[in-house]
Structure 1
Amino acid sequence: MEMRRKDRALGMEETIEILNKSEYGVLSTVDENSVPYGVPINFAYTDGVIYFHCAKDVGHKLSNIKQNGNACFTVVNDVCLLPSTFSTKYSSAILFGTISSVEDDKEKRKGLEALIKKLAPDYMESGLKYIANSMDDTTVLKMEVKEMTGKAKK
């Protein structure tokens, strides 16, 4: 779908910057009855892929992904209400792609390391130990990005 407010469109570099500074976003999927489901989740973006992690227990998110891998991921930063003009300052990114479970141990480790590097960079050493001890109990998901747009009102 084409962006309505093209005057607010951001370039790819700025859009990736938004992803890199965001701690979490909303992952949206649909179930077998086409009912949408959005869940806030932390993530790491690297090499055109978004990595997520979750427990192995199958819940709403994993059930939806298993039956339909199409997903949308949205992040918003720098939000500032401007009540006097009835507006909002913001920057955002919306990504569309296909999401799947990572089965390859090497890629699974890559995704988990990307998450630690982004979310807990001061704890890399203990994070790597944590990965070694809990990787088998963790599901790593990846979203292969097919389309990405950024938008801002400054």
Structure 2
Amino acid sequence: MHHELRRNERALTEMEARAILERGEYGILSTCGSDGQPYGIPLSYCIENDAIYFHCAVEGHKLNNIAADTRVSFCVVGKTEVLPDQFATRYESVVISGRATEVYNEEKQRALEGLLAKYSREFLSSGLDYIKAKWALTKVFKVSIEDQCGKARR
């Protein structure tokens, strides 16, 4: 579902928003449980083929929520600077809406390698061994980007 920005002059182009996503260290995944209770959790992610990928354990709160409703929101905050004398903040952020689905086999491997390349590039060889060792204990999800909205005050 797309929401119009209240402050349109702060809207980012698709390319600017993508750059924030690519250099982001972490994002906040927001889900909703079967009881309607919202839940947001920070996590590591990578971008592959215009989708967000994240890994997790084989059970847990976010997995229960995704099983109840695959619709999710994912937010990445880029550079920020508090401007105390102006009672304001410089910021840049991107919010994505989409659906989370578990991926398997080759797609799971590519996503895990994408995470490895993003966070541990200098340990590629031992990282591949780690992926192999933890394969059965790891789930990987893809968030297909249905809507993307970037905003900044610079």
Q: Give me the TM-score of the superposition, normalised by structure 1.
A: 0.96
Query: Which amino acid in the other structure matches residue 151 of structure 1?
Result: K
Distance in structure 1 (CA, Å) of the matches to 2:121 and 2:146: 28
Task: Give the Cα separation in 2 of the matches to 1:116 and 1:88.
Answer: 33
Gaps of 5+ in 2: none
Question: 2, 15, 19: which is aligned to 2:4?
Answer: 2
Name the structure 1 match of 2:140. 140
Where in structure 1 do 4 or more consecutive aligned residues deviate above 2 Å? Answer: none
Which ranges of structure 1 fall in alignment gaps of 5 or more residues?
Answer: none
Q: CA deviation at 1:134?
A: 1.2
1:127 deviates by 1.1
1:89-114 CA-to-partner distances (Å, cap 9, x unmatched) read 01100000000111x21000011011
The code of the aligned residue for 1:39 comes to I
Following superposition, the deviation at residue 136 of structure 1 comes to 1.5
Return the alpha-carbon distance in structure 2 between the equivalents of residues 59 and 137 of structure 1: 12
Identity across matched positions, percent:
39
Give the Cα–Cα distance (whole angstroms) in 1 for the partners of residues 112 and 134 of structure 2. Answer: 10
SS at match of 1:10: coil
Normalising by the residue count of structure 2, what TM-score does the alignment of the two structures yield? 0.96
- State how many pairs are aligned: 152
Return the alpha-carbon distance in structure 1 between the equivalents of residues 93 and 31 of structure 2: 19
1:107-142 Cα deviation digits (max 9, x unpaired): 000110111111111111211111122112101111
**Equivalent position SS for 2:35:** coil
Question: Deviation digits for residues 20-74 of structure 1, max 9, x if unmatched?
Answer: 1111011000001111000011100121110000111x21100000110000000
User: Which amino acid is 2:102 matched to?
Assistant: S
Distance in 2 (CA, whole Å) between partners of 1:3 and 1:119 is 32
The residue that corresponds to 1:118 in the other structure is 118
**Which amino acid in structure 1 is aligned with residue 119 of structure 2?**
L
- Rounded Cα–Cα distance in structure 1 between residues aligned with 2:121 and 2:153: 30
